[in-house]
C-alpha cells in the first residue's frame, strides 16, 4: 500500500522527533557527572524490560509466544548478539557524555554512516557510488589526521560508530518486529545486569544507592536519574521504530545527522569543550563526505516522493 502524503509527513515528524530526543540526551546525563558507567548501564538494561512491556501494552501489541521464539532460534540468537553490540556502543556513549566528552559522541555518530556503508559493501553486496566512495576516503583521512596529530585512535568514537552500524546490520536479519526485538535484547541481558546491581548492593559499592534514605529527596533524585536512563534512551528508539513504517529510509538517512549535529553544538556552545584545529580539520573532512552523499541522494529522494504522490 503506497504512502499517502499525510502518512509520510507523520513519519518524517516522528523521525525528526526521535533524532531530536537523541540529540538532547547529553542534557539529561549532565545531571549525572562522573557517573559509574557500569552501574548506569546495568540500571538502563534492567529497567528497559518493564518499560518496554508497558509500551507494548499501551500500544496494544502482543509479544510472540514461547513457541514462536523457539521456532526462530536464529532471530533470538541475533537479538542476543545485537544486545551485546548495542551494550558496547551505549557504554561508550554513556561514558562520553557523563565525562565531558560530548564531542567524542558527536564524532562517533557522524562516522556511523561511513561504517554502515562499509558493512553494506562487505555483507550485503552493496555497490558504492562515487559520492559514497569519496565519503569513505574523506572520513578515513579525517580519522587518520586525528591519529597523526594526537598519536592515538579516537577509540570511544570508533566503538560508538562502529558498534551502532553493526547493530543495524544485525537488525537486518532479525525477523521479529522492532518493539519485540528491543524488549528481547534487554531481557537477554537483564539477568547479568540484575546480578551486577545485586553485587554492588551487598558490597556497598553502589553510587546510585550511596547514603540512600527514604526521607532524603536528594538520594531519591540520584536513584531516579539512574533508573530514568532506561526510558530516556528507549523513547527515541520507539519513535524511530514508528517512523520506519511511515516514511522512506532515504529521508531517515538524511535526518539522522540531526543527532550528532546537536551533540556538536551542545559540546562547543553549552559545555565549552575544547575544539582545536585538529578536530576542526577532522570534522570538516567527515562533514564534506557526508554532504556529498546527501547531495547525491536528494534527486533520487525527490523522484521517489513524486512517485509516491502520483501513486496515492
Can you say how many angstroms the Cα of residue 265 is from the centroid of all Cα atoms in its chain? 18
- Confidence class for position 16, pLDDT limits 50, 70, 90: confident
Q: What is the pLDDT of residue 116?
A: 80
**230 touches 43 (CB < 8 A):** yes
Per residue in 97-143, pLDDT tens?
A: 888 889 999 888 888 878 887 888 888 777 777 887 888 888 889 88
Q: What is the pLDDT of residue 48?
A: 94
Angstrom distance (rounded) from CA 193 to CA 196 = 5
Q: Taking 60 as the threshold, does the pLDDT of residue 53 lie above it?
A: yes
Angstrom distance (rounded) from CA 4 to CA 292 = 29
Can you say how many angstroms the Cα of residue 292 is from the centroid of all Cα atoms in its chain? 23
Q: Please indicate whether residue 2 or residue 298 has the higher confidence score (pLDDT).
A: 298
- Confidence class for position 310, pLDDT limits 50, 70, 90: low
Mean pLDDT within 271-280: 89
Polymer length of the chain: 312
Angstrom distance (rounded) from CA 190 to CA 125 = 35
Q: What is the pLDDT of residue 1?
A: 44
Q: Taking 70 as the threshold, does the pLDDT of residue 235 lie above it?
A: yes
Q: Taking 60 as the threshold, does the pLDDT of residue 264 lie above it?
A: yes
- First and final C-alpha spacing in the chain: 9
Q: Most confidently modeled of 59-63, 110-114, 225-229, 236-240?
A: 225-229
Write the DSSP symbol of residue 300. Answer: H
pLDDT, the chain, mean: 83
Of 183, 192, 173, the residue nearest 72 (C-alpha):
173
Q: Taking 90 as the threshold, does the pLDDT of residue 45 lie above it?
A: yes
Amino acid at each position: 500500500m503506497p504512502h499517502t502524503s499525510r502518512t509520510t509527513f507523520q513519519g518524517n515528524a516522528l523521525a525528526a522527533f526521535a533524532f531530536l530526543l537523541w540529540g538532547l540526551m547529553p542534557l539529561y546525563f549532565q545531571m549525572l557527572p562522573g557517573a559509574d558507567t557500569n552501574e548506569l548501564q546495568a540500571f538502563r538494561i534492567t529497567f528497559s524490560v518493564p518499560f518496554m512491556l508497558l509500551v507494548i501494552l499501551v500500544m496494544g501489541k502482543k509479544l510472540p509466544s514461547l513457541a514462536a521464539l523457539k521456532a526462530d532460534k536464529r532471530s533470538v540468537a541475533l537479538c542476543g548478539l545485537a544486545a551485546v553490540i548495542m551494550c558496547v556502543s551505549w557504554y561508550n556513549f554513556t561514558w562520553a557524555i557523563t565525562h565531558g566528552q560530548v564531542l567524542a559522541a558527536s564524532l562517533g555518530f557522524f562516522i556511523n554512516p561511513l561504517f554502515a556503508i562499509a558493512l553494506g559493501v562487505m555483507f550485503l553486496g552493496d555497490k558504492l557510488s562515487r559520492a559514497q566512495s569519496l565519503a569513505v576516503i574523506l572520513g578515513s583521512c579525517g580519522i587518520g589526521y586525528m591519529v597523526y596529530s594526537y598519536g592515538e585512535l579516537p577509540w570511544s568514537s570508533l566503538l560508538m560508530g562502529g558498534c551502532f552500524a553493526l547493530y543495524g546490520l544485525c537488525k537486518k536479519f532479525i525477523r521479529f518486529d522492532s518493539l519485540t526485538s528491543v524488549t528481547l535484547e534487554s531481557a537477554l541481558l537483564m539477568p547479568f545486569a540484575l546480578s551486577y546491581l545485586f553485587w554492588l548492593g551487598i558490597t556497598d559499592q553502589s553510587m546510585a544507592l550511596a547514603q540512600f534514605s527514604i526521607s532524603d529527596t536528594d538520594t531519591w533524585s540520584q536513584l531516579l536519574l539512574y533508573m530514568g536512563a532506561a526510558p530516556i534512551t528507549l523513547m527515541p528508539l520507539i519513535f524511530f521504530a514508528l517512523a520506519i513504517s511511515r516514511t522512506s529510509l532515504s529521508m531517515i538517512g538524511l535526518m539522522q545527522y540531526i543527532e550528532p549535529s546537536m551533540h556538536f553544538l551542545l559540546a562547543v556552545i553549552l559545555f565549552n569543550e575544547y575544539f582545536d584545529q585538529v578536530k576542526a580539520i577532522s570534522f570538516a573532512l567527515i562533514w564534506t563526505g557526508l554532504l556529498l552523499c546527501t547531495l547525491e541522494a536528494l534527486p533520487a529522494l525527490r523522484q521517489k516522493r513524486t512517485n509516491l504522490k502520483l501513486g496515492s
